[in-house]
Amino acid sequence: MLQIDSDGRVTSWNPGAERLFGFESDEVLGRDFAQLTGTDEAKVRTLQEEIFRVSHGSRQEDAQWLKRKDGSRFWARWISEPVCDDAGELLGLAKVLRDETEREAAQEAIRKSLAEKEELLKEVHHRVKNNLQVITSLLNMQARQIENPHVLAQFEEARNRVFSIAAIHESLYRSASFSAIDLAAYARQLAPDLVRFYSAQDRIQVNVIGEGITLELERAVPYGLLLNELVSNACKHAFPSPRKGSIVLSFQHENGDIQMTVTDDGRGLPKDFDYRRASSLGLKLVRSLARQLRGSLDIEAGAGTAVRVRFPENGGMPHA
């Protein structure tokens, strides 16, 4: 424990402070506390600001490197409180310090280890993305040898599914966090590429609405594949050439759930269409992927098509 006056001079120095800093009381009493914190301008200004805040009745907590008599440094954490006379006039500050050098070193080691692991994870996502891009390129090369239009279309759909997974790893590689994926940011990356793949960029406009909604990594791949299927279906079926229109992808929070809606203003679905009984691989995948997200699926036909998938934000079951 030690005390300083309103000018920053040491006025009290107990045996604990003597042990911690290595200075005897007659070496520091009456001297500037800055000799213990360092005399650079930033630290002197910090001390002055602390004195000002405490003088206005505010208890302060802080931590920084301080110097011992032998020149070594230690990480100190302290509490500063005002010291007043009987009339309530400020005499100075009382500081209670503790040496937390070992704790700070341990935390620094943890931070360094975490940074190394994050860099490793980043490299893993980068390599997975590269490998998936190699597979995509091989599928493209093989597709050039296929003459049957029906087989070629199936081949290209498989290629798009691989591409959508690669895009997830690319998104994670560029992200500040590897624990979750930003749904709207990923949609802005994937959807325009799919529209270009179907050579519809001059006919179909893509709009993405929603910010800051994330999904944990465990469900990122089902989400990416689902988005691929919904946008691809809209490109193929809602806008046969030369029809023009737009696809809107929206994301919003609703009572602890995430609702993703893919809406198009294309030609719509037949009146008797029932997606629950549809036998196409694409719609089977859509139903299966919605279940993997632990979500519910609803398709609304009208002036265009709206597909709503509602799934829990935290990985449980969707709310009623």
How far apart, in Å, are the Cα atoms of 279 and each of 163, 262, 287? 24, 21, 11
The larger pLDDT score, comparing residue 245 to residue 106, is at 245
Residue 302 confidence (pLDDT) above 90: no
Rg, the chain, Cα only: 32
Rounded CA separation 249/261 (Å) = 6
Contacts of 40 (CB under 8 A, 6+ apart): none
First to last CA, the chain: 59
- Measured over the CA atoms of residue 65, residue 74, residue 53 and residue 11, the dihedral's sign is negative
Mean of pLDDT values over 111-131: 74
pLDDT of residue 320: 55
Q: What is the pLDDT of residues 245-261, one digit of tens each?
A: 999 999 999 888 999 99
pLDDT-based confidence at residue 312 (cuts at 50, 70, 90): very high
Rounded CA separation 210/135 (Å) = 32
Q: 153: helix, coil or strand?
A: helix
- Measured over the CA atoms of residue 112, residue 118, residue 119 and residue 121, the dihedral's sign is positive
Residue 107 confidence (pLDDT) above 60: yes
Superfamily of domain 2-99: PAS domain (3.30.450.20)
Nearest-CA neighbor of 226 among 283, 152, 269?
A: 283
Mean of pLDDT values over 103-123: 75
pLDDT-based confidence at residue 6 (cuts at 50, 70, 90): confident
b/e code 242-268 from CB counts within 10 Å (16+ = b): eeebbbbbbbeeeeebbbbbbbbbbee
Contacts of 165 (CB under 8 A, 6+ apart): 132, 221, 224, 225
pLDDT of residue 176: 62
Each domain of the chain, given as residue ranges in start order, spans 2-99, 105-312
- Measured over the CA atoms of residue 284, residue 262, residue 158 and residue 121, the dihedral's sign is negative
Mean of pLDDT values over 216-224: 87
Q: What is the mean pLDDT of the chain?
A: 83
Q: What are phi and psi for residue 253, nearest 5 degrees? A: -85, 145
Superfamily of domain 105-312: Histidine kinase-like ATPase, C-terminal domain (3.30.565.10)
pLDDT of residue 257: 93
Nearest-CA neighbor of 13 among 77, 97, 90?
A: 97
Please answer whether residues 295 and 309 qualify as being in contact, where contact means their C-beta atoms are separated by less than 8 angstroms.
yes
Q: What is the pLDDT of residues 17-73, one digit of tens each?
A: 888 888 888 888 888 887 777 656 656 666 677 777 777 766 778 788 888 888 888
| Other Cβ atoms closer than 10 A to 41 | 8
How far apart, in Å, are the Cα atoms of 5 and each of 35, 58, 89, 90, 122? 15, 16, 12, 9, 51
Please answer whether residues 181 and 214 qualify as being in contact, where contact means their C-beta atoms are separated by less than 8 angstroms.
yes
* C-alpha 162: how far from chain center: 24
Which range (25-39, 67-81, 132-146) has the least confidence? Answer: 25-39
pLDDT of residue 218: 84
Please give the share of the chain, as a percent, with pLDDT higher than 90: 20
Q: Residue 61: beta bridge partners? A: 79
Which range (36-50, 116-130, 178-192, 289-303) has the least confidence? Answer: 36-50
Please answer whether residues 191 and 249 qualify as being in contact, where contact means their C-beta atoms are separated by less than 8 angstroms.
yes
Please answer whether residues 186 and 171 qualify as being in contact, where contact means their C-beta atoms are separated by less than 8 angstroms.
yes
pTM: predicted TM-score of the whole model, two decimal places: 0.57
Q: Residue 306: beta bridge partners? A: 263, 300
pLDDT of residue 124: 72
Nearest-CA neighbor of 289 among 307, 271, 301?
A: 307
Q: What is the pLDDT of residues 9-19, one digit of tens each?
A: 888 888 888 88
Mean of pLDDT values over 180-204: 89
Q: What is the pLDDT of residues 149-183, one digit of tens each?
A: 888 888 888 888 888 888 877 777 666 666 788 89
For residue 135 the two structure tokens come to 């597979």
Mean of pLDDT values over 226-255: 91
User: Helix-strand-coil percent breakdown of the chain, rounded to 5?
Assistant: 45, 25, 25
